[in-house]
Every structure is written in structure tokens, then in C-alpha cells.
Amino acid sequence: MDWDNNVQAYLSSVDKGKYPEEIRPKYCNKCCKEIFFHHHAHYSRMVYLLASQQEIIIHRFICPCCRHTESYLPSFVGPGRQAAWEIHEEILRQNDRGVPLDKAGEEIHPPAGPFSSKTTARWKKYWDQFLHNKETFIWQWLLRHTPHLAIPVGKQKAKTALGLLFKIWPQKTAENAGLKGVGLLQRLYSLFNKPYPVAVAVGE
């Protein structure tokens, strides 16, 4: 799904009048029926990137049986968030290099930033918990698809679990052309949250 990897590709494939058919749910998590959802509506939301801001269209689908609705979010941003994963990644990479979270947040320029220390600390907590819960599965996935990863040692050895993933991610993207331009955090999020759409309440 290259069209889902970044904002520019998404905008070329999704607008108010079009969307890839693959995002249409084919199973209802509420009534547990295998059924094609009907297109229900669309709405716009603002996404903040490192160098810009962009309005995108999100399409909503509805189960014809129970009226449960689901919306498909692109992989570069999470539910209820305006800052794209690339902003999270930039701040956490800086923090892994020794830059305090508050300073890393302050260095994100408008229109996205700057971000407060409270916000960046919340993001760090989220990703620390994410890795704590899923680290085993992440490594199984990495080694299954890229068995010859070179783990940094000596002076290049990472100090944290996230720092290690940052160091080896270029090896993964070099072996998979489909990941070109995709950040580590974006891929980790989508690994556990796609292709399942985000459930939303009717009228949200």
C-alpha cells in the first residue's frame, strides 16, 4: 500500500470523491459478520508534519446490518492525533542522542511545533509502553523478514531498546523498497494496527 505511506501519496489516491477499494471493511467487529460495508461519509482533518501542515480526507464506512461505522486512517498518523508519527520520531531520535525532551520539542518549527515538555513526555511514555508490550513480536518480525541484521556493538551499541531499533532501521528499509521514506515509528504502529480500520461512533 504505497499510497498509504506518506501524505503526498495519500492525497493522490484519496479525496472527497475517491478512495482505494481495499480500505472498505469486509468484516464487522460489532455484529461479527463477513459483509461489505457501505460508504457512509467522509470528513477532513488537519495533519501536522515536520515541514508543513496538510488537510486530508478520511472516509467512513457503515455496516449495513448493525449500522456500526468505521473510519480508515492512513498509517502516518494515529487516531485522535494531529502530529504525524514523523514528528514523534524526530523528537525521540533527538532524545536518544541525549537532547532533553523539552528542548527537542522546542526545536520543532511552526506550523507543527513547538511542543511542550508535557506533550513530548506523553509521547515518550506512549512509545516506551508500546515497546514494552510488543518488543518480542517486533524482533520476531524483523528477524523473520531480515535475518541478516547487523546488531551494533562496541561504541556503536545502543543504550536503549528504541535506540537499537533506530540504528538498525536503515538496514530494513535498504532491503525493502516498499519501506522507502517510511519511518520506524510509522511502520511499528501500522504493523499492529493495519489493515484494521479505527472504530468510531456514529455522529463523531
- The model's pLDDT over 34-45, given as tens digits with 9 standing for 90+, comes to 999 999 999 999
**Of the listed ranges 78-82, 128-132, 174-178, 184-188, the one predicted with least confidence:** 174-178
Q: Is the pLDDT of residue 114 over 90?
A: yes
Which residue is it, cell 521514506?
A: 181
pTM for the whole structure: 0.88
pLDDT of residue 34: 92
What are the residues whose beta carbons fall under 8 Å from the beta carbon of 189, sequence distance 6 or more?
75, 78, 85
Q: Residue ranges per domain, the chain? A: 2-82+193-200, 85-191
* Beta bridge pairs of residue 124: none
pLDDT band at 204 (very low <50, low <70, confident <90, very high): very low
Contact 11, 19 (CB under 8 A): no
What integer best gives the mean pLDDT of the chain?
90
The stretch 153-162 carries a mean pLDDT of 88
pLDDT at 197: 44
Across 75-79, 113-117, 178-182, least confident range: 178-182
Angle of helix 117-145 relative to helix 85-96, nearest 10 degrees? 90
For residue 61, give the C-alpha cell.
464506512
Cα separation, 201 vs 203, whole angstroms = 6
pLDDT tier at 194, thresholds 50, 70, 90? low
3 pLDDT exceeds 90?
no
Instruction: Tell me which DSSP letter residue 200 carries.
Output: E
Banded pLDDT at 156 (limits 50, 70, 90)? confident
